[in-house]
């Protein structure tokens, strides 16, 4: 997004030397994600205290600053220590949002030309800065929302995993088998299983919670595509039944007899 701001300003003003700094009030420092400059000295500045230089002045005052010429003399007059290579012309505006909150500073400067900028340039850069501030705040809010959603998802997955483990720990047998006989499905009585003919994993929100396996006695049965599709749909139904059962057991544990 900041690259788009830089390209937009470049269409209207000379951005040979252009910076966007972002203010971090918790650390009381500014960083420079956009630092386009002819100065070798300025290129080495990536972070600095928020109370230094002309950038720090704008962060404190919340006001645009236009210095048409002799920037070094103005710095001395304002009692601001020089940071980086002194420019001959300097123009900077705050990046602000409603509530008088400063997000950063956007500035242009010239190391070769005095009176490179005027009041019209100041108004134009201020207007661009206002739009950039809104876009920057929207990006930050989107990132915060995404981070919050990811945290909620991780918490929910952890909760499901914990509830499932609690459910398993309360079950005497973790493997249940059924045999298809003359009377329909019947609970298997400790019969050794045949080699698995079809195995389908059961997952709950990406977490494996079991396996659904189908056997036949001699392993000769061929599974039609429709049967395989049906079998793969069953874990979806089973996992929600198990989830409901596991959660209900946790919230409403069955009473135990005492003697």
Cβ-proximal residues to 54 (8 Å cutoff; 6+ apart), any chain: 65, 67, 75, 80, 83, 90, 92, 107
**In the prediction, which pLDDT does 205 show?**
63
Statement to judge: residues 88 and 13 lie in one domain: yes
Determine, yes or no, domain membership for 258.
no
Q: List pLDDT tens digits, range 35-56.
A: 999 877 788 888 999 999 999 9
Same domain, 126 and 32: yes
Mean pLDDT estimate for the chain? 78
| Number of domains the chain is built from | 2
On the question of pLDDT at 179 being above 90, the answer is no
**Quick one: residue 206, left, alpha or beta (phi over 0 = left, psi -120 to 50 = alpha)?**
left
Confidence band of 68 (pLDDT split at 50, 70, 90): very high
- For the cut 50, the answer to whether the pLDDT of residue 76 exceeds it is yes
Give the pLDDT score at 171.
Answer: 54
Do the domain assignments include residue 71? yes
Same domain, 125 and 180: no
Top pLDDT among 91 and 245 is at 91
Domain membership flag for residue 190: yes
Within a domain: 93: yes
Alpha helices, DSSP H, located in the chain: 2-10, 40-43, 53-61, 71-78, 119-169, 225-251
Tens digits of residue pLDDT in 185-229: 555 555 555 555 566 666 766 666 666 666 665 555 565 665 556
The 8-class DSSP code of residue 14 comes to -
Does 28 share its domain with 127? yes
Asked if residue 94 and residue 215 are part of one domain, the reply reads: no
Find the CATH number of the domain harbouring 7: 3.30.450.40
| C-alpha–C-alpha distance, residues 3 and 124, integer Å | 18
- 126 and 220: one domain? no
Per-residue pLDDT for 172 more than 60? Answer: no
Q: Tokens for 70? A: 């002799």
What integer pLDDT is reported at residue 60 of this predicted model?
Answer: 94
Per-residue confidence (pLDDT) for residue 253, from 0 to 100: 41
- CB contact at 8 A, 64 and 57: no
Same domain, 98 and 200: no
Same domain, 13 and 126: yes
- Report d(CA 120, CA 91) in Å as an integer: 11
Q: How confident is the model at residue 254 (pLDDT cuts 50, 70, 90)?
A: very low
In a domain, 259, yes or no: no
Host domain of residue 220: 165-251
pLDDT tens track for 116-160 = 999 999 999 999 999 999 999 998 888 889 988 888 888 877 887
Q: Could you tell me if residue 145 is inside a domain?
A: no
On whether residue 178 sits in a domain, the answer given is yes
41 & 86 share domain: yes
């Amino acid at each position: 997004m900041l690259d788009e701001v830089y390209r937009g300003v470049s269409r209207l003003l000379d951005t040979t030397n252009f910076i966007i700094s972002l203010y971090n009030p918790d650390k009381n420092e500014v960083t420079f994600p956009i630092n386009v400059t002819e100065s070798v000295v300025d290129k080495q500045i990536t972070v600095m205290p928020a109370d230094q230089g002309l950038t720090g002045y704008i962060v404190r005052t919340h006001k645009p600053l236009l210095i048409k010429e002799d920037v070094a003399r103005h710095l001395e007059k304002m009692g601001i220590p020089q940071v980086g290579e002194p420019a001959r012309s300097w123009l900077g505006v705050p990046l602000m949002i409603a509530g008088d909150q400063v997000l950063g500073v956007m500035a242009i400067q010239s190391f070769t030309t005095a009176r490179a900028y005027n009041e019209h340039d100041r108004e134009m850069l201020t207007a661009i800065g206002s739009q950039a501030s809104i876009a920057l705040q929207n990006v930050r809010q989107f990132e915060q929302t995404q981070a919050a959603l990811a945290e909620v998802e991780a918490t929910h997955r952890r909760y499901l995993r914990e509830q499932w483990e609690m459910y398993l720990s309360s079950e005497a047998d973790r493997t249940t088998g059924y045999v298809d006989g003359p009377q329909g499905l019947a609970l298997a009585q400790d019969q050794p299983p045949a080699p698995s003919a079809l195995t389908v994993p059961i997952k709950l929100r990406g977490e494996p919670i079991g396996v659904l396996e189908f056997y036949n006695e001699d392993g000769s049965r061929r599974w039609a595509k429709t049967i395989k599709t049906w079998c793969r749909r069953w874990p979806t139904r089973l996992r929600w039944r198990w989830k409901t059962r596991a959660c209900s057991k946790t919230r409403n544990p069955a009473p135990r007899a005492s003697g």
